[in-house]
Each structure stands twice: as C-alpha cells, then as structure tokens.
Amino acid sequence: MKRLAVYCGSATPADPRYMELARAVGQGLATRGIGVVYGGGRLGLMGAVASGALDAGGEVIGVIPHALAGSEVANHDCTELCTVTGMHERKQRFTDLSDGFVTIPGGVGTMDELWEAVSWAQLGYHTKPVGLLNAFGFYDHLIAFNRHMADIGFVRPAHQGIIIADETLEGLLDKMVAYEPHTPIFQMTASEL
C-alpha cells in the first residue's frame, strides 16, 4: 500500500485523545512510507492527520471542493492540494489516488465516505481494503449494526468481510495488507444474489 485515503472528522472534540489519535495515524502512516490522501482541511482531526504525516516527512494529498478551497479551512501545507467541483468528485479522487481506505473517528461526512467505500467495494467499483480504526471503542455500535444487517440478510455472506476493523493502527494495517478481495455483485449470478 503506497497511499491510503484517511476518512475522519473536521471537528475538534473536547476529549484530546481524538486529536492525538489523528496525529498518530498520520505519523504512523508516514513512518511506514504510506502516503495520506484526505479531505484537504486544516481543522480538527483532518488537520491533525495531515500535520502528523507532514511532520514525519510523509506525502499528504488533500482533496477539497472548490467551495472550501478558498476559505480558511484549506490546508495549503499539503504536498499537493487538489480542488474538485464537489463531494462526488472528491470521493472518486480518494478512490483513484489510494490503495485502500482507513476510517478513524468522525461524524456524518466520515460515515458518508466510509459507507460509499463499502458500497463501491460490494458492487465492484474497487477491490481495495476498507479499514475501520475502532480506537476507544468509538465504532463498537457501528460494527454491531453492520453485523446485525448481515444477520438479517442485508449484507451477503460474500461481503461480510469488507469492513476490516481493529483497535490499533498497526493491527489494522496488517489486516488490510492481508485482505483478499471478495466476489463483487457485478460478477455474481442471479442465483447468488
């Protein structure tokens, strides 16, 4: 994995562990020689991921919509800052530039990015690993809900391993490297669906 898209919040939670985690993720990826592709912001967890990676000598590619690029939230310290027309193009660029996805804590936008990466993997638009860093148990309920959807039958058995979760970055990266792509919906027969 040469580059990973990192999905995270642009907010700064009151609990300092989240900012420390984001910075450590950026630094951890950079020290492993893995470039960061992220939302291009300088605020919140986004900014901390970028700072951590840049301070460790890593590559950081920001992808930000035009509507935000001219404001004070854009991070002009990135190795490269790409401006795009909107959110759909932004997520496509994340997919094109990265070899996988790591989601750390965040809010609604982070969930949108995670679920689109999962959905695109399920369909067959990409075969890249989709990682979920479940630090501090932040995603316990989401993991349980994903399991619930599978138990009910809304996530096919072939796709139940798309979300790769771990509580540590090191463990998550090890699992992502070992990921073997599943059979996407586009390659399934009607009887398999």
Contact 78, 51 (CB under 8 A): no
The number of C-alpha atoms within 13 Å of 40 and in the hemisphere containing its C-beta is 24
What does the block give as tokens for 147? 């399991």
Task: Give the torsion through C-alpha atoms of 119, 122, 128, 131, to 10 deg.
Answer: 60
Beta strands per DSSP E along 15-58: 35-38
Categorize the per-residue pLDDT at 188 as very low, low, confident or very high, splitting at 50, 70 and 90: confident
Q: What does the pLDDT look like over 69-120, one tens digit per residue?
A: 877 789 999 999 999 999 999 999 999 999 999 999 999 999 999 999 999 9
What are the domain boundaries of the chain? 3-192
Measured CA to CA, the distance from residue 66 to residue 75 in angstroms comes to: 13
Pairing verdict, β 35-38 and 60-65: parallel
Q: Is residue 71 classed as helix, strand or coil in its secondary structure?
A: coil
Q: What does the pLDDT look like over 16-27, one tens digit per residue?
A: 999 999 999 999
145 sits in which H/E element: helix 140-152
The 10 Å Cβ neighbour count of residue 172 is: 24
Q: Which of 164, 151, 79 is nearest to 121 (CA)?
A: 164
Name the architecture of domain 3-192.
3-Layer(aba) Sandwich (3.40)
Q: Is the pTM of this model over 0.85?
A: yes
